[in-house]
Amino acid sequence: MGRELIGYGSPPSGPPGACSLPSSPLTNEEQVGNSLWGTTCQPTFPKWLPDEHGREYEQAPWGNRNPKTSDPSNDADIPYSNVTRYYEFTITRGSISADGVLRDVMLVNNQFPGPAIEANWGDMIEITVHNNISYPVEGTSIHWHGFLQRGSNWFDGVPSVSQCPIAPFHSYTYRIPAQLYGSSWYHAHYSAQYTAGIVGPIIVYGPSQQSYDIDIGPVLLSDWYHIPYFSIVSDAVGTDLSEIPPTSDSLLINGRGRFDCSKPSYGNETTELLASHVSANLTWTCKDGAELSKFVFQPGKTHRLRLMNVGADGIQKFTIDGHQLTVIAYDYVPTTPHTADFVTLGVGQRADVLVTANNYTTNSFWMRSSAPGGAACGGSNMGEVMAAIYYEGADTTVEPTTLRGSNDTVCENAPLNTTEPEYTITPTPEGAYVFDITLSLVLNSTGNYEWRMNDQTFRANFNYPSLMLAAEGNTSFPDDPQWQIHNMGSNKSVVLNVTNLTPFAHPFHLHGHNFHVLNTGYNGTVWDGTAVNPKNPMRRDVQIIPQAGWAALSFESDNPGVWPFHCHVAWHLSGGLAMNLVTHADQIPSIPSGTKADTCTDWDYYSNNNVVDQIDAGS
Ligand SMILES: [Cu+2]
């Protein structure tokens, strides 16, 4: 399908010429490359895709499955199709001015944020990734966040775990089944590379428990920095606590923000690092009044917004002036609809919200996102970013004048007693394997700060993916504690009892599963074995672990493989806040011949002939 090779969602709706791209003070290309996100040319999205020949389905391709009665963790409930959706991603360096400030970035198909991946529930998604990062070169890999990868662990995209990095000027093809439906994102999982711009949205169309009229599509929230990621990482794993974590300069919605050029943000820095031995002078190049993102609503209609925190660090607080948000899913889990004035998303988290355009006091409104809370929450130096919502017919060249309604600065997820999955799964913590985990930040013997789980920091070995070793029968590595491999055995369920000894909140992500969030708490208390809503606790794939607090997360161990469990703050992951859980080692599916060789042969050759510039944990 040619459309998918272009790698962008549906064509713009409405008559030709009905949309326009920013041209001043920056052209659209100068601001975000070829991206249409956040312009009036951003398409709306369908209820489902046509079949592989472009023929419309006469009814929903998933039949009468619905969020209340279908268990996506059960293969028999998944509407597997014979349809494959093909995409092709080329990753390059570039420079853009997303918020008005020129900086070095990395782009997918010359777009920031990257193109959308779309599929119907049960389809196969095939993405070929070309690593064209050059001057200087780097390895890369792409992770498809939130996908179960049941039976395809080797396409999970984590270098040192499920593959070797894609070597410079090589390509790799991922094939992943859409076993869950809803909203997610993809991102580079090599070092903190994704914070340079290698991110994009994923939509898997599926049933909805509440009807809506128009799918507005992705609304990507992120914090943003003005120096290259490599410079930031060198600070984040450095010796100066005041630089840990680095504070973001700015905030973006769908890749666009507006920085005040009178406040240069480089501080004392005069050079930037693109690699250990490649630096450049920092020259402040800023245009005031950069275009903010725009969305068009139909009066009286209900719109679906797919919110995603694709940032590096900050916990995003999202709100729309004069409108209520009805949340129908968190991450890939449909939840009993509940209304709220704001939605909280830690890095990696998503929320699907419905918004009815029924406020006729004016015809344009601000959408806002902020990252408050200071260092403990990954707070940004920018107070908030806005995007304009225009009711159809409003003048899209005039900015809204509405005032902020609600304000909230708590850096934790919505209370567990307010969120409940539509499909009931009762965890079985009795008899579960309880794995106690502590998180700490310590000064190591070389004077560098490092993040630890159970007093051990993680460091990737790009040449020996642990999944490949596990599939060959190796599941313990006493001589390599830095690989952080922990065998969960063949237990039916596992409780991750995480105690956070640091004064920072950490959004923790488990690959390959949705976990139950049994309970969370603050310092001075420990988990007492109880769960909130024990018959059907909240499930998701990222949970904010409160600062100096704890969280008890449990998962049904039904997906044999090697699964990273890590903080999704890019800088904490760079500092080693990760471990890898081996489940049912004897049942890990054999890896298709060719899959390992595809990345490791190339990477071995590359790394034997070049010094790999690994200054952080690596994945
Ligand atoms: Cu963290």
- Exposure string of 352-371, with b = 16+ CB inside 10 Å and e = fewer, is bbbbbbebeeebbbbbbbbb
d(CA 123, CA 108): 23
Structural domain contains residue 585: yes
Write the single-letter amino acid at 196. Answer: A
The CA 479 to ligand 1 mean position distance, Å, reads: 26
Beta bridge partners, 555, equal: 494
The CA 64 to ligand 1 mean position distance, Å, reads: 40
Which of 152, 186, 207 terminates a domain? The answer is: 207
Structure tokens at 480: 């390599």
Structure tokens at 616: 């952080």
Beta bridge partners, 187, equal: 143, 199
Distances (CA, A) of 139 to 248, 297, 311: 25, 41, 21
Structural domain contains residue 197: yes
Strand order in the sheet with 433-443: 449-453, 433-443, 493-500, 550-556, 515-521, 539-540
The CA 343 to ligand 1 mean position distance, Å, reads: 20
Which of 306, 260, 418, 433 is closest to 42 using CA atoms?
306
> pLDDT of 39-65, one tens digit each?
999 999 999 999 989 999 999 999 999
Structural domain contains residue 557: yes
Q: What is the pLDDT of residue 176?
A: 96
Strands 214-224 vs 302-309: parallel, antiparallel or unpaired: parallel
Cis (ω within 30 of 0) for the bond into 264? no
Q: Rounded to the nearest 5°, which phi and psi values hold at 111? A: -130, 145
Contact present, 457 and 237 (Cβ < 8 Å): no
The CA 577 to ligand 1 mean position distance, Å, reads: 7
The CA 228 to ligand 1 mean position distance, Å, reads: 20
The CA 361 to ligand 1 mean position distance, Å, reads: 42
Q: What is the pLDDT of residue 7?
A: 38
Structural domain contains residue 561: yes
Structural domain contains residue 599: yes
The CA 440 to ligand 1 mean position distance, Å, reads: 10
Which of 182, 207, 232 terminates a domain? The answer is: 207
Q: What is the pLDDT of residue 497?
A: 97
The ipTM is: 0.83
d(CA 383, CA 508): 25
- Look-up: residue for tokens 């049933």? 207
- CA 303 and chain centroid, separation: 22
Structural domain contains residue 31: yes
> pLDDT of 142-172, one tens digit each?
999 999 999 999 999 999 999 999 999 999 9
> What is the domain count for the chain?
2
Which of 176, 207, 238 terminates a domain? The answer is: 207
d(CA 364, CA 392): 9
The CA 434 to ligand 1 mean position distance, Å, reads: 22
Q: What is the pLDDT of residue 475?
A: 81
The CA 252 to ligand 1 mean position distance, Å, reads: 21
Cis (ω within 30 of 0) for the bond into 334? no
Which of 61, 127, 135, 130 is closest to 93 using CA atoms?
135
Strand order in the sheet with 506-510: 485-487, 578-583, 561-567, 506-510, 542-545
- Other C-beta atoms closer than 10 Å to the C-beta of 339 total 10
Which of 285, 284, 287, 306 is closest to 295 using CA atoms?
306
Taking 70 as the pLDDT cut, the residues of the chain under it are 1-18, 429, 596-597
The CA 572 to ligand 1 mean position distance, Å, reads: 5
State which residues form the domain around 492: 433-609
The CA 428 to ligand 1 mean position distance, Å, reads: 28
Q: What is the pLDDT of residue 5?
A: 32
Structure tokens at 144: 């498809």
Q: Is 416 helix (H, G, I), strand (E, B) or coil?
A: helix
Structure tokens at 391: 């009711």
The CA 554 to ligand 1 mean position distance, Å, reads: 19
Strand order in the sheet with 342-345: 294-297, 385-391, 364-370, 316-320, 342-345
Q: Which helix (H) or strand (E) holds 182?
A: strand 182-188
Structural domain contains residue 41: yes
The CA 508 to ligand 1 mean position distance, Å, reads: 7
Q: Is 434 helix (H, G, I), strand (E, B) or coil?
A: strand
The CA 569 to ligand 1 mean position distance, Å, reads: 5
Q: Is 2 helix (H, G, I), strand (E, B) or coil?
A: helix
Structural domain contains residue 515: yes
The CA 171 to ligand 1 mean position distance, Å, reads: 31
Indicate which CATH number applies to the domain containing 93.
Answer: 2.60.40.420
- CA 305 and chain centroid, separation: 16
The CA 250 to ligand 1 mean position distance, Å, reads: 19
The CA 449 to ligand 1 mean position distance, Å, reads: 13
Q: What is the pLDDT of residue 597?
A: 64
